[in-house]
Amino acid sequence: MSETHYNGIRRSYIPVQPVLKTGQCGVYYRELLPAPELQEFICCYWELCTDTILDEPFTYRVVADGCIDIFFELHTPQENFVMGFCKSYTAFPLGNRFHYVGVRFFPAMFPLLFGIDASLLSNRYESLELVLPATAAFIRDRFHADCSPQDIQQLLDLHFIEVLHKATPDPDPRFFAALDRILRFPGQTNIEKDLDTGLSPRQLRRLFNFYTGDSAKTFSQVVRFQYILRAKPSVQSLRQNKLFFDAGYYDQAHFIKEFRTFYGVTPGQAFGR
pLDDT tens figures, 47-88: 999 989 999 999 998 999 999 999 999 999 999 999 999 999
Q: What is the C-alpha to C-alpha distance for residues 271 and 176, in angstroms, rounded to an integer?
A: 33
pLDDT, position 6 = 62
pLDDT of residue 84: 97
Task: Give CATH superfamily name and number for 173-271.
Answer: Homeodomain-like (1.10.10.60)
pLDDT for residue 258 is more than 60: yes
User: Which stretches within 185-215 are classed as H helix?
Assistant: 201-211
Q: pTM for the complete prediction?
A: 0.92
Q: What is the dihedral of CA 233, 102, 59, 96, to 10 degrees?
A: -130
Per-domain residue ranges for the chain? 9-166, 173-271
CA 178: distance to chain centroid? 19
**pLDDT value at position 214?**
97
**Looking at the predicted structure, is the pLDDT value of residue 5 above 60?**
no
pLDDT-derived band at 189 (thresholds 50, 70, 90) equals confident
Average pLDDT over residues 232-239: 74
Q: Identify which has the larger pLDDT, 256 or 7.
A: 256
Positive or negative, the Cα torsion across 232, 263, 22, 183? Answer: negative
Q: What confidence tier does 273 reach under pLDDT thresholds 50, 70, 90?
A: low
pLDDT digits (tens, 9 = 90+) for 123-133: 999 999 999 99
pLDDT value, residue 24: 60
- Amino acid 233: pLDDT: 77
Burial 194-213 (b: 16+ CB within 10 A, else e): ebebebeeeebeebbbbbbb
What average pLDDT does this structure show over 192-221?
Answer: 90
Banded pLDDT at 21 (limits 50, 70, 90): low
Find the length of the chain.
273
E strand intervals along the chain: 27-32, 42-50, 58-62, 68-73, 80-83, 90-95, 99-105, 125-127
User: Residue 7 — pLDDT band, cuts 50, 70, 90?
Assistant: low
Report the sign of the C-alpha dihedral through residues 207, 210, 212, 218, in that order.
positive
Average of pLDDT values for 195-211?
A: 90
Give the whole-number percent of the chain exceeding pLDDT 90. 66
Q: What is the mean pLDDT of residues 250-254?
A: 83
* 77-136 residue pLDDT tens: 999 999 999 999 999 999 999 999 999 999 999 999 999 999 999 999 999 999 999 999
SS3 27: strand
- Say if residue 209's pLDDT is above 80: yes
Helices 173-184 and 216-231, axial angle in degrees (round to 10)? 40
